[in-house]
Amino acid sequence: AMSPVVKVYGWAVSPFVARSLLCLEEAGVEYELVPMSREAGDHRKPDFLGRNPFGQVPVLEDGDLTLFESRAIARHVLRKHKPELLGSGSPESAAMVDVWLEVEAHQHHPAAAAIFVHCIVAPLLGGAPDQAVVNENVAKLRKVLEVYEARLSASRYLAGNDISLADLSHFPIMRYFMQTEYASLVEELPHVNAWWEGLKARPAARKVAEFMPPDLGLGKKAEQL
Amino acid sequence: SSPVKVFGHATSTNVARVLLCLEEVGAEYELVPVDFLAGEHNTPEHVQRNPFGKIPAFQDGDLVLFESRAIARYILRKYRTPGSPDLLGENGGAEEAAMVDVWTEVEAQQYHPAISPVVFECIIFPVMRGAKTDQKVVDESLERLRLVLGTYEERLSKSRYLAGDSFSFADLNHFPFTFYFMATPYAALLDEYPRVKAWWEDLMARPSVKRVCANMPTKFCF
């Protein structure tokens, strides 16, 4: 019997959906992306809320398993198909991956995402960035990236010698962040910049980036506003 | 082997998260104080352990870790004994671990952003900075929290614990901020969600939780 194809529900421009797709691509797992419309409010409709009661994309269906929260989806896909990307060899190597996964979630993402939302999303929706918020987050991200520069000067990848989910998890939001005028924050740090260049050159990253145009597919709409 | 070291103080929410895991697995540990108010977290010595200058930091022999959820996972894997519960669900099928991860992320991404501002405004900022409570922030957060608790109430009507039939890391992660929330004037909010309230009381009854609570204040004067 054919094994059921993994399904991902969501819009691929979302950095959270993209995180899930990136893991599936890295692990070489066949999947079906079930398109949803943010505009039509598909994520608020009853049948989607039955999958994720928090009404957010992505959702991943793997046989009988229905998962949400992109970082949990990422762990599941890799645990099942490519556990070395979670540092599965030992509690110590797994711990290093977990450390930098938490850093991504709690130190990197909030600042990078705020800049993305204000500098890319807001203008596309006809709004203006709150420059005070942008400045605050640029200052935060600068400090965070200084730590990354020191880390990547001492370690080939964030968790150690081998690439892991800790590195990959940064790709989606950075893909957008690097389109803003603040890309220089990364470019001016040689090790962070080299690490970023390496990430974005990965075939899986290039594949996923195809679904992540810098204008989030809203460009034509913005022109019409 | 020597006890592991946790750098921080027992009243810190993120330190409490780590101590809770140590208590759950029954591992010996030493709590090494870091005087936050005196700026000890910014000293070169501490920054070597946690480059973001936060607490906790953790040391087990040569291994130095930071980020409380990462430390917690390490402890639960490394120090788990055959008799103790599989709190990460990693020794079951793929499904158990996945559900633990989902609800662990829910705590971090849905629950925490709703509940923590109430704790910060009502307790942490007044205690640490002598700041006044921003009632607007509190009110907005409580509205958000109501929605989250409604979803939790629904979940707990179908599942004994958040990730499934067994207590897990996902449930445990709710302890630190909920503990302090229950010391704010808004504790009665949980009474509106009876299954959530019962789940919380079950968690508070765990021996490990009681031991950690013993070092966390419930009354604040400011």
Give the CATH number for residue B149. Answer: 1.20.1050.10
Instruction: Give pTM, 2 decimals.
Output: 0.96
Same domain, B100 and B198: yes
Indicate whether B82 pLDDT > 90.
no
**CA angle B147–B148–B149, rounded 5-degree value:** 95
Identify all chain B residues contacting A49, using CB atoms and an 8 Å cutoff. none
pLDDT in tens, B2-34: 899 999 999 999 999 999 999 999 999 999 999
Average pLDDT of span A167-172: 98
| A134/A153 Cα distance (integer angstroms) | 28
Same domain, B25 and B104: no
Same domain, B67 and B162: no
- Mean pLDDT is lowest, of A1-10, A17-26, A189-198, B204-213, for A1-10
Confidence of residue A160 (pLDDT cuts 50, 70, 90): very high
Indicate whether A219 pLDDT > 80.
no
Cβ-contact B43, B68 below 8 angstroms: no
* Residue B205 resides in a domain: yes
A49/B contact by beta carbon, under 8 A: no
Quote the number of domains for chain B.
Answer: 2
- Its domain, for residue B75, covers 4-79
A105/B contact by beta carbon, under 8 A: yes
* Residue B100 resides in a domain: yes
CATH number assigned to the domain comprising residue B39: 3.40.30.10
Same domain, B146 and B50: no
Average pLDDT, chain B: 95
* Residue B155 resides in a domain: yes
Residue in chain B lying closest to A150 (CA): B51
Indicate whether A4 pLDDT > 70.
no
Identify all chain B residues contacting A76, using CB atoms and an 8 Å cutoff. 94, 97-98, 101
Contact yes or no for A76 and B94 at CB 8 A: yes
The verdict on domain A87-209 having CATH code 3.30.70.250 is no
Same domain, B52 and B104: no
Indicate whether A214 pLDDT > 80.
yes
Q: Minimal Cα–Cα distance from A42 to chain B, Å?
A: 19
Contact yes or no for A103 and B67 at CB 8 A: yes
> What are the residues whose beta carbons fall under 8 Å from the beta carbon of A213, sequence distance 6 or more?
A13, A219
| A138/A152 Cα distance (integer angstroms) | 20
Residue in chain A lying closest to B150 (CA): A53
Same domain, B106 and B187: yes
Polymer length of chain B: 222
pLDDT in tens, A31-55: 999 999 999 999 999 999 999 999 9
Q: Residue B129's pLDDT is what?
A: 86
Average pLDDT, chain A: 95
Q: What is the ipTM of this complex?
A: 0.96
Nearest to A102 by CA among B86, B72, B91: B72
> What are the residues whose beta carbons fall under 8 Å from the beta carbon of A122, sequence distance 6 or more?
A128, A129
At residue A33, φ and ψ (nearest 5 deg) are -90, 115
Tokens of A114: 């705020």
Same domain, B74 and B105: no
* Residue B84 resides in a domain: no
Identify all chain B residues contacting A165, using CB atoms and an 8 Å cutoff. none
Residue the block writes with tokens 């939790």? B152
Same domain, B105 and B189: yes
Closest to B67 (Cβ–Cβ): which among A92, A99, A147?
A99
> What are the residues whose beta carbons fall under 8 Å from the beta carbon of A52, sequence distance 6 or more?
A43, A59, A66, A68
Average pLDDT of span A206-217: 94
Identify all chain A residues contacting B61, using CB atoms and an 8 Å cutoff. none
Same domain, B72 and B19: yes
Closest to A91 (Cβ–Cβ): which among B77, B99, B102?
B77
CATH number of the domain at A6-85, out of 3.40.30.10, 3.30.300.30, 3.30.70.1070, 3.40.50.300? 3.40.30.10
Same domain, B44 and B124: no
Residue in chain A lying closest to B110 (CA): A54
pLDDT in tens, B107-162: 999 999 999 999 999 999 998 889 999 999 999 999 999 999 999 999 999 999 99
| A61/A41 Cα distance (integer angstroms) | 20
**Domain-by-domain residue ranges, chain A?**
6-85, 87-209
Indicate whether A113 pLDDT > 70.
yes
Average pLDDT of span A161-184: 98
Q: Residue A225's pLDDT is what?
A: 45
Count of Cβ atoms closer than 10 Å to residue A135 Cβ:
12
pLDDT > 90 in chain A, percent:
92
Indicate whether B36 pLDDT > 90.
no
Identify all chain A residues contacting B109, using CB atoms and an 8 Å cutoff. 69
Contact yes or no for A69 and B105 at CB 8 A: yes
Indicate whether B44 pLDDT > 60.
yes
Confidence of residue A220 (pLDDT cuts 50, 70, 90): low
